[in-house]
Amino acid sequence: MTDASSKRRALAARVRERRFFAVPGVFDLISARLADTMGFECLYMTGYGATASYLGLPDAGIATYTQMADRARTIAEACATPLIADADTGYGGLLNVHYTVRGYEAGGVAGIQIEDQEFPKKCGHTPGRRVVPLDDMLNKIKVAVEARRDPDFLIVARTDARTGLGLDEAIRRGQAFAEAGADVVFVESPESAQEFERLGREIDAPLLANMVEQGRSPLLDRDTLSRYGFALAIHPGAGFMAAAEALKQVYGYLRANGSTSGMAQPLYSFEEMNKLMGFEEVWAFDRKWADTQQ
Q: Within 13 Å of residue 3, how many CA atoms lie on the same side as its CB?
A: 10
- Is the distance from CB of 24 to CB of 84 less than 8 angstroms? no
Residues 45 and 83 sit within 8 Å (Cβ to Cβ): yes
In tens, the pLDDT along 202-255 reads 999 999 999 999 989 999 999 999 999 999 999 999 999 999 999 999 999 999
Q: How do residues 100-121 score in pLDDT, each as one tens digit?
A: 999 999 999 999 999 999 987 8
The tens digit of pLDDT for each residue in 147-160 reads 999 999 999 999 99
Contact 44, 83 (CB under 8 A): yes
Question: Would the CA dihedral through 128, 129, 135, 140 be positive or negative?
Answer: positive
pLDDT tens-digit series, residues 169-180: 999 999 999 999
Domains of the chain: 3-243 (3.20.20.60)
pLDDT > 70 fraction of the chain, expressed in percent and rounded: 98
Portion of the chain with pLDDT greater than 90, in percent = 91
Long-range contacts of 54-59 (CB under 8 A, 24+ apart): 54/28, 58/123, 59/122, 59/123
Q: Are 18 and 41 in contact (CB under 8 A)?
A: no
Residue 1 has pLDDT above 60, yes or no: no
Please give the angle made by the CA atoms of 186, 233 and 166, to the nearest 5 degrees: 35
- CA-to-CA dists, residue 129 to 42, 106, 123, 214, angstroms: 28, 30, 8, 18
pLDDT beyond 80 at 122: no
pLDDT band (50, 70, 90) for residue 22: very high
What value does the mean pLDDT of the chain take? 95
- Segment 282-286 shows an average pLDDT of 93
pLDDT in tens, 66-103: 999 999 999 999 999 999 999 999 999 999 999 999 99
